[in-house]
């Protein structure tokens, strides 16, 4: 079915409140659009588990740093709504920037300590922007449950911590990473890659899965696992490595020896394109 497209926050809030009065379970899938099968897996799960699914499409300027890809980030609302029509999505909320950040708006969320390492260290202000927009969306769309992807693992930790710390009355579901056949995690940014870069890009997931396989066969020393991973990245001609780390899946602090609570997480740049990925070692 073709979802209703709303951009007015009051209409959005009224629609959600009506569903809740009728006793419906409302689900929210926040996205920046340029939808692919990764996003659609969240949408599908939301439609299975709730009575009323709302997808938001908003390229949030405050989570992009200076020199990042805000201007070139792919935007195609028509194509996105066509893709969503395969599912029982009831509404798409696609507000303007001025609606979410009216002139003069200056309050923001200071995210928890889990926002500090990894992405937070390399993208100052990123998680402040993420937490702020997610809180705004939760206010306008007081859903029962929100769906996020493990693809942005640190983001899920930041939002989970915000939900806990602010006692937000919403549950969070984290959905597994959807990958291409060669292992590359689907991302809207993959569209920036040339054919050669696209082949190189698969090296990141190969390196992370290699860590998982070695750990599974008893090699638990983080230093030796990271060395093996860097060899895989080198073999794939990936030489701009922002980080590849073995961290505790809750605190995101580095570990010396891996266990079932460890996550292998990485970010690399291929040309001008930045890619992130992660693999839970318990899987
Ligand atoms: P984005 O539009 O990049 O902000 O992503 C919107 C949501 O989709 C986030 O919760 C992402 O983690 C999730 N997502 C993006 N890529 C994937 C993927 N390959 N598999 C599963 N979820 C994803």
Tens-place pLDDT, residues 188-224: 999 999 999 999 999 999 999 999 999 999 999 999 9
Q: Are residues 30 and 58 in the same domain?
A: yes
Residue 182 included in any domain: no
Same-domain pairing of 84 and 160: yes
Mean predicted confidence (pLDDT) in 133-140 = 98
Last-in-domain residue among 175, 197, 229: 175
Task: Give yes or no: residues 105 and 17 share one domain.
Answer: yes
Q: Is residue 183 part of a domain?
A: no
Task: Examine the pLDDT at 283 and tell me if it is beyond 70.
Answer: no
CATH assignment at residue 241: 3.30.1300.10
In a domain, 1, yes or no: no
Task: Find the mean pLDDT for residues 229-235.
Answer: 98
pLDDT tens across 241-271, in order?
999 999 999 999 999 999 999 999 999 999 9
Q: Is the CB of 130 under 6 A from ligand 1?
A: no
Residue 282, pLDDT score: 85
Ligand 1 atom nearest 147 alpha carbon: 10
Ligand 1, residues 68, 152, 174: which to mutate, most atoms within 8 A of Cβ?
152
Q: Domain containing 22: what range?
A: 7-175
Q: What 3 state SS string does the chain have?
A: CCCEEECCHHHHHHHHHHHHHCCCCEEEEEECCCCCHHHHHHHHHHHHHCCEEEEEECCCHHHCCCCCCCCCCCCCHHHHHHHHCCCCEEEEECCCHHHHCCCCCCCCCCCCHHHCCCHHHHCCCHHHHHHHHHHHHHHHCCCCEEEEEHHHHHHHHHHHHHHHHCCCCCEEEEECCCECCCCCECCHHHHHCCHHHHHHHHHHHHHHHHHHHHHHCCCCEHHHHHHHHHHHHHHCCCCEEEEEEEEECCCCCECCECCCCEEEEEEEEECCEEEEEEEECCC
Where does a domain end: 130, 152, 175? 175
Total tally of structural domains belonging to the chain: 2
Final residue in a domain of this structure, among 108, 140, 175: 175
- Mean pLDDT (the chain) is 98
Q: Whose CA is nearest to atom 14 of ligand 1?
A: 149
Distance 217 CA to ligand 1 centre (A): 30
Tens of pLDDT, residues 69-116: 999 999 999 999 999 999 999 999 999 999 999 999 999 999 999 999
Name the active-site residue from 36, 39, 44, 126: 39
% of residues, the chain, pLDDT over 90: 99
Atom index in ligand 1 nearest the CA of residue 42 equals 22
181 located within any domain: no
* Ligand 1 center to 154 CA (angstroms): 12
Strand partners, 268: 241, 275
pLDDT tens column, 120-130: 999 999 999 99
22 vs 3: CA distance, rounded Å: 19
Statement to judge: residues 168 and 198 lie in one domain:
no
Residues 114, 202, single domain; the answer is no
Mean pLDDT of 20-48: 98
Same-domain status, 203 and 76: no
Its pTM stands at 0.98
Q: 39 an active-site residue?
A: yes
CATH of the domain at 66: 3.40.50.620
Atom 22, ligand 1: residue with shortest CA distance: 149
User: Is the same domain home to 26 and 101?
Assistant: yes
Task: Give domain status of residue 180, yes or no.
Answer: no
C-alpha of residue 43 to centroid of ligand 1, in Å: 10
> What distance in angstroms lies between residue 30's CA and the mean position of ligand 1's atoms?
9
Centroid of ligand 1 to alpha carbon of 189 (angstroms):
11
Q: Quote the pLDDT of residue 174.
A: 98
Residue-level pLDDT at 85 = 98
Confirm or reject: Cβ of 12 under 6 Å from ligand 1: no
């Amino acid at each position: 079915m073709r979802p209703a497209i709303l951009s007015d926050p009051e209409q959005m809030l009224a629609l959600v409140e009506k569903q809740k009065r009728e006793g419906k379970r409302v689900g929210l899938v926040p996205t920046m659009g340029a939808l692919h099968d990764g996003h659609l897996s969240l949408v599908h799960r939301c439609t299975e588990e709730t009575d009323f699914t709302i997808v938001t499409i908003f390229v949030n300027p405050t989570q992009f740093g200076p020199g990042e890809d805000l201007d070139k980030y792919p935007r195609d609302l028509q194509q996105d709504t066509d893709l969503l029509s395969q599912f029982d999505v009831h509404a798409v909320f696609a507000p303007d920037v001025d609606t979410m950040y009216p002139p003069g708006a200056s309050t923001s969320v200071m995210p928890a300590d889990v926002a500090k390492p990894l992405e937070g260290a390399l993208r100052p202000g990123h998680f402040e922007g993420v937490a702020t927009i997610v809180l705004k969306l939760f206010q306008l769309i007081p859903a029962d449950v929100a769906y996020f992807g493990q693809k942005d693992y640190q983001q899920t930790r930041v939002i989970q911590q915000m939900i806990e710390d602010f006692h937000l009355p919403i549950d969070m579901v984290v959905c597994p990473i959807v990958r291409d056949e060669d292992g590359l995690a689907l991302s809207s940014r993959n569209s920036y890659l040339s054919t050669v870069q696209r082949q190189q890009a698969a090296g990141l997931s190969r390196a992370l899965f290699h860590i998982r396989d070695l750990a599974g066969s008893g090699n638990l020393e983080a230093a030796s696992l990271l060395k093996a991973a860097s060899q895989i990245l080198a073999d794939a001609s990936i030489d701009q490595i922002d980080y590849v780390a073995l961290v505790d899946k809750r605190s995101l602090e580095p570990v010396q020896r891996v266990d079932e609570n460890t996550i292998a997480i990485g970010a690399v740049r291929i040309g001008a394109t930045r890619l992130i990925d992660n693999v839970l070692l318990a899987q």
